[in-house]
Amino acid sequence: MLGLGAFLYVMFVSVAWIMTLYTLNFYYLSYHSLHNRVHLKRKNKLRALIESATHEMPVVTVQLPIYNEKYVAARLINAVCLLDYPTNKLEIQILDDSDDETFQLIVRLVSHYKLRGLDIQHFRRGSDRVGYKAGALKEGMKYAKGELIAIFDADFIPPPSFLKQTVGYFLDKRIGMIQCRWGHLNEGYSSLTEAQAISLDLHFLIEQRAKSLTHLFMNFNGAAGIWRASCILDAGGWHSSTLVEDLDLSFRAQLKGWKSLFLENIVVEGELPVQMNAAKRQQFRWAKGSIQVAMKLSGYIFSEKNIATDTKIQALIQLTRHLVHPLFLTQFLIFPILLALNYNLYTVNWAPITGIMLYVLTGPATYIYMIKRIWGDEWKRKARQYLFLIFFATGISVNNTVAVFDALAPGKNEFLRTPKFGVISKEDEWRNKEYVLPFTKTTLLEIFFGIYGCISIFVSIFSRNPIFAPIIAIQTIGFIYVAYFSIRHSLTKEQPNYMTNHYDVTEPHPSASNITWNGKINTTAVAKSLITTSDRNSTQIGRSLYGKLIMIGILGILACGVMLVYVGYQNAIYPLDKAMGYLSRAESSQTPAMMAGYLEPAKLLLPSHGNPVWSFPNPRTDFGLIQNDLQAMIQRTNALSSVEPNSAAYNTGLQDLHGSIKIIESNLEEATPYMYVSYTNVLLGVLWMGIIILLFAALRRGRQKGRVEYENT
């Protein structure tokens, strides 16, 4: 058992060092973002050149890849058609792969804006969607007229001045791509959107700013940016071999020598996912795609002689940073086992508090410092968002770990889009709209880690290491947070009763599609009426009640599981831990009477018979034999009490008893982990998980049945 503890400890420390390297990379980029003089100097020089020079506006093609986005498509198209740019220099391509009402919506909008004299084209491909988004962009490039290609996803709203503010920077012939900063239309909608907002803000204002125009590789974020058409062609065009065609192309372009520029002062508002399952799908795609690009391009990056060493290292870290998620889960699983084994994690008493302080200083404290440097007086609001990000980042690690392993395994490379619902304000509802995603099997893993975290908290307390409990608790809250909202966001709510089918999708507005519903303003664009009947209302109420009952059942089973874990620990594990405490006191006793006084309660706490090692039992962990040894030791203490103190026989006998006690302690340490996986615990665990899975299946079946009934009413 000492070998197992040592192996797990080495693994734990090794993982910690690897994760520390990724943390140090954040410091490296933070420093460069605050001291990127190359970025500032060259950008200011370009700005001065733009203001002084008289240059002809280049032809720009705006590409809008869209797939089933009926709630936001009109908002995007209206905003793009409002761009303040010469109409004879502007081409708009709507790359539409939709197979729902979005298609008819786009047809109406295209006809409307063509009548107004705009060069707007509606491109349709086959139903197989070859290459997904990358395939659509590649197809559009065949017909694009522009020297520059601007790209916006369906959930973005470019400001009217976007092109006039950006195209001038392409006077520098070395610049192949410009990325603008993402804003957030619905940042304050929920804790989920706030967590995503601060995560993206830190990415843009630290990572992208640090890499802009330096020798470090900067990535295109897929939207709110402009490419030089010749750069795309020179880099080999859009590839669909990975799920992140934007990252893939931007790295290939920089391998060819092109420069990338980040413009933090130009903000393009976008809609953040409001459903946990949608956010998880987006994170899954980013994590899997990054690993795919790492496997695809790492060899080329490290074999290129003209690239600096630190650029190669930075590129590798960026492409593989999602490996942090499986590493974190490995640590999370190993640490409580080491505590349960009473493994000596530190040699001095001040080591734990020092380690925790270093963790805080090198993690949250540094982030808070950077938040204060970036946002100034608004730092408190962003610091609160960072707290939500800690929970979200912890809980999402299960989802992203699955993505990493999915990238390493050969298989289908399907691009699953992140659904958006046109949600801007807290009053906007999305629960009963189409595109709502059900929770997946990954949620079961998140529940497992949440429960494992609860057990770990008990282990840290009862193993006399309560100082670690707060950190474990924060991580456990993250798993529970993501699992809870994955289920909660799969349920539906009753929908308001709109009794009209009148709408107008051709009234543009910079911040919303401004669709009129019988005198009311709705911030989303839809392609069919929202006719709600009493039958449909009753169907929704039934679905909602059914989902709530199942949810209550799941929460009840989870609470029952936590209670069983606590009772099981009290009845099976805690007596062994307490017995080892008495043995530890007996080992330090200096008289036979004191030793017997500790051995007797230890003997009473241990089982009278049985062997917890059910796989390959051995005499060391047989409780019957341990009881016999303890009884014999008690008898020896009684006999030793009659021997002259301080004699050779007395000292030898006392020393021999100390050695025997140490052996018993070692045997109990070996037996303790197997108490967690006893026959009873395994059977209860399987039964418990089976009930959870059945309830999940019932919830999904009810939701699918309700959706069919809803659509048929």
Please classify residue 618 by burial: count the beta carbons closer than 10 Å to its beta carbon, then call 0-12 exposed, 13-18 middle and 19+ buried: exposed
| 267: in domain | yes
d(CA 190, CA 604): 54
d(CA 565, CA 559): 10
138 with 163, same domain: the answer is: yes
156 with 304, same domain: the answer is: no
269 with 318, same domain: the answer is: no
Please classify residue 145 by burial: count the beta carbons closer than 10 Å to its beta carbon, then call 0-12 exposed, 13-18 middle and 19+ buried: middle
Residues belonging to the active site: 97, 246
d(CA 538, CA 542): 6
CATH of the domain at 121: 3.90.550.10
| 31: in domain | no
| 222: in domain | yes
410 with 379, same domain: the answer is: yes
| 355: in domain | yes
- With beta carbons less than 8 A apart as the criterion, state whether 507 and 514 touch: yes
459 CB-near residues (< 8 Å, 6+ apart): 336, 339, 340
| 60: in domain | yes
d(CA 655, CA 292): 62
CATH of the domain at 611: 1.20.120
256 with 294, same domain: the answer is: no
* Enclosing H/E stretch for 408: helix 379-408
Q: How many domains does the chain have?
A: 3
What pLDDT is recorded for position 84?
Answer: 95
* pTM exceeds cut of 0.95: no
595 with 639, same domain: the answer is: yes
578 CB-near residues (< 8 Å, 6+ apart): 605
- With beta carbons less than 8 A apart as the criterion, state whether 64 and 154 touch: yes
256 with 298, same domain: the answer is: no
| 697: in domain | no
pLDDT along the chain (713 residues), means of 10: 72 90 90 87 82 81 96 96 96 95 95 95 85 94 96 97 94 95 95 96 96 93 97 96 95 96 96 96 96 95 91 94 96 89 66 69 84 91 93 96 92 84 91 88 90 88 83 94 91 49 46 35 37 44 60 74 76 84 88 90 89 79 90 90 86 89 86 74 74 70 58 52
144 with 171, same domain: the answer is: yes
352 with 213, same domain: the answer is: no
Letter string b/e over residues 419-432, b meaning 16 or more CB atoms within 10 A of that residue's CB: bbbbbbeeeeebbb
- Of the three residues 459, 493, 527, the one that is the final residue of a domain is 493
* CB < 8 Å & 24+ apart, contacts of 513-520: 513/72, 513/74, 513/75, 513/78, 513/422, 514/78, 515/74
Partners of 517 in the beta sheet? 520
Q: From the centroid of its chain, how far is CA 329? A: 12
Identify which of 102, 105, 61, 103 has the alpha carbon closest to the alpha carbon of residue 83: 61
**What is the domain extent for residue 89?**
36-275
Using alpha carbons, list the distances in angstroms from residue 273 to 184, 438, 516: 10, 14, 24
Q: From the centroid of its chain, how far is CA 686? A: 28
| 297: in domain | yes
43 with 55, same domain: the answer is: yes
What pLDDT is recorded for position 356?
Answer: 72
Identify which of 41, 343, 371 has the alpha carbon closest to the alpha carbon of residue 202: 371
319 with 254, same domain: the answer is: no
| 452: in domain | yes
304 with 183, same domain: the answer is: no
What would the DSSP string read from start to end of 337-402?
Answer: HHHHTT----SSTTHHHHHHHHHHHHTHHHHHHHHHHHHGGGHHHHHHHHHHHHHHHHHHHHHHHH
- Per the listing, tokens 């004879």 go with 88
